[in-house]
C-alpha cells in the first residue's frame, strides 16, 4: 500500500515573544495559518530500514537538508522507537516549500511523515502520543498534525483552532537569504521590538479584522532580530516598503516576507509592482490560504509514487 499526504506551508499572522523560559525556549503567541503552497509526501512499507527520496521542485536554489538529519527521517525514527514496527518504510518527498524561509516546510514534512507512518501501521498511536512525538521533533511540528489556522502558545504546541480566518491571498517574497531559527531567537532582545502594539493576541470569533490589517497589526517580534542578523533582509524589507507596501511582514524567524490581501487581483498587482526586486535575487510567489484538501490530515491511498514514473 502507498499512502500520500499534502504537507502545507504556514505563515505566522503575527508573532509575539512573551519571554524566555527556563528550558531555553521562548514563550510565544502566534497565529499559524496554513497555505496552499505545499510539499507532497508519500510512504510505503518496505522490509527493513528507513529510506527517503526527494524531488526538489522549489527552484529557489535553497538547501533542503538531505540524509539522516532530514526531518522526515527523524520522524520515521521517532515513530519506530515508539511503536517498534516489524518492517521499514520508504518515503518520497515532492519538495516545493523553500527551506530556511520561516514557512515551516521541514516541520510540515515531519508531521506528515508521522501521520503516514501511523496510518501504514493501522493507527497504533493516538492523537496525544503523536503530538508528544511531534514536539520532540520541533516546536512547529504539532501544529501541522491538524494545520488550518490556529492560535499557538507555549513553544508553539499549545494550540487552539481559529476557523474563521480563511480565504486570504498572499504574495510571498523570498529574499536570497536563509535564516537560522536558533540564531534569530538567540539574537532576540526585547528592546529590539519597534513600533508594535502592546496588546497581546486575542482568540475568539470576531477578534480579527481580515486581510492585510490582520498581519500588519499583529507584527512579528522576531523581525528586528532577523533584520539585525541579516542586513540583506533588512534592505529588501525597506525596498518593499518604499515601493508602496509598508505593511510587509516577516513569517516566523524569516526569511520570507509576505503581503496579505483579501482579493487575488490585488495580490497580482503587488507582484507586478515588486517584479524589479528580481535583480536583487528576490523571488515572488502568489499563494492563498490552504483549502480543505491541504488541511485534511487523513492519508490517501494512491497507486504509485510519481518519482517511480520518472525513473
Ligand atoms: O523547536 P525547534 O527545534 O524548531 O527550534 C529551533 C530553535 O529555535 C531552538 O533551538 C530554540 O533556540 C529556538 N526556539 C525558541 N523558542 C521557541 C521555538 C524555537 O527559542 N518557542
The contacts found for 81-84 with CB under 8 angstroms, 24 or more apart, are 82/125, 82/129, 82/133, 83/117, 83/118, 83/121, 83/124, 83/125
- Residue 165 has a pLDDT of 76
Q: For residue range 278-294, list pLDDT tens digits in order.
A: 999 999 999 999 998 88
Active site residues: 10, 140
Topology classification of domain 169-288: Alpha-Beta Plaits (3.30.70)
Grid coordinates representing 195 are: 513600533
- For ligand 1, atom 21, the nearest C-alpha belongs to 155
Residue 28: strand pairing partners: 17
Task: Note the CATH number of domain 2-161+293-310.
Answer: 3.30.230.10
State the Cα–Cα distance between residues 48 and 223, nearest whole angstrom: 44
Ligand 1 binding pocket, CB closer than 6 Å: 25-26, 28, 138-140, 155-156, 181-182, 185
Domain residue ranges of the chain, discontinuous segments joined by +: 2-161+293-310, 169-288
Distance 182 CA to ligand 1 centre (A): 6
Ranges in the chain, pLDDT < 50: 193-213, 311
Distance 262 CA to ligand 1 centre (A): 32
- For ligand 1, atom 20, the nearest C-alpha belongs to 25
Q: For residue range 157-171, list pLDDT tens digits in order.
A: 999 998 767 789 999
Nearest atom, ligand 1, residue 138 CA = 1
- Residue 205 has a pLDDT of 34
- For ligand 1, atom 9, the nearest C-alpha belongs to 182
- Residue 236 has a pLDDT of 96
- Residue 203 has a pLDDT of 38
Distance 139 CA to ligand 1 centre (A): 6
Contact 173, 236 (CB under 8 A): yes
Amino acid at each position: 500500500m502507498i499512502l500520500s499526504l499534502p504537507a502545507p506551508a504556514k505563515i505566522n499572522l503575527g508573532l509575539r515573544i512573551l519571554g524566555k523560559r527556563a528550558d531555553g525556549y521562548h514563550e510565544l503567541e502566534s497565529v499559524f495559518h496554513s497555505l496552499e503552497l505545499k510539499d507532497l509526501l508519500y510512504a510505503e512499507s518496505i522490509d527493513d530500514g528507513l529510506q527517503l527520496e526527494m524531488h526538489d521542485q522549489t527552484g529557489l536554489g535553497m538547501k533542503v537538508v538531505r540524509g539522516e538529519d532530514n526531518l522526515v527521517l527523524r520522524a520515521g525514527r521517532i515513530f519506530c522507537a515508539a511503536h517498534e514496527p516489524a518492517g521499514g518504510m520508504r518515503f518520497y518527498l515532492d519538495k516545493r516549500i523553500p527551506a530556511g524561509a520561516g514557512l515551516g516546510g521541514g516541520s510540515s514534512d515531519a508531521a506528515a511523515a508521522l501521520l503516514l507512518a501511523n496510518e501504514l501501521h493501522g493507527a497504533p498511536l493516538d492523537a496525544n502520543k503523536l503530538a508528544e512525538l511531534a514536539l520532540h521533533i520541533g516546536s512547529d511540528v504539532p501544529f501541522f498534525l491538524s494545520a488550518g489556522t490556529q492560535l499557538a502558545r507555549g513553544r508553539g504546541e499549545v494550540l487552539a483552532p481559529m476557523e474563521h480566518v480563511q480565504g486570504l491571498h498572499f504574495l510571498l517574497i523570498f529574499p536570497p537569504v536563509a535564516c537560522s531559527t536558533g540564531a534569530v531567537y538567540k539574537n532576540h532582545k526585547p528592546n529590539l521590538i519597534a513600533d508594535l502594539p502592546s496588546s497581546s493576541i486575542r482568540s475568539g470569533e470576531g477578534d480579527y479584522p481580515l486581510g492585510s490589517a490582520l498581519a500588519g497589526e499583529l507584527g512579528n517580534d522576531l523581525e528586528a532580530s532577523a533584520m539585525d542578523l541579516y542586513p540583506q533582509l533588512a534592505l529588501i524589507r525597506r525596498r518593499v516598503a518604499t515601493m508602496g507596501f509598508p505593511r510587509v511582514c516577516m513569517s516566523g524567524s524569516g526569511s520570507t516576507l509576505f503581503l496579505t490581501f483579501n482579493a487575488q487581483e490585488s495580490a497580482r498587482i503587488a507582484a507586478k509592482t515588486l517584479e524589479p526586486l528580481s535583480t536583487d535575487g528576490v523571488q515572488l510567489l502568489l499563494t492563498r490560504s490552504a483549502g480543505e484538501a491541504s488541511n485534511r490530515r487523513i492519508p490517501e491511498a494512491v497507486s504509485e509514487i510519481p518519482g517511480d514514473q520518472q525513473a
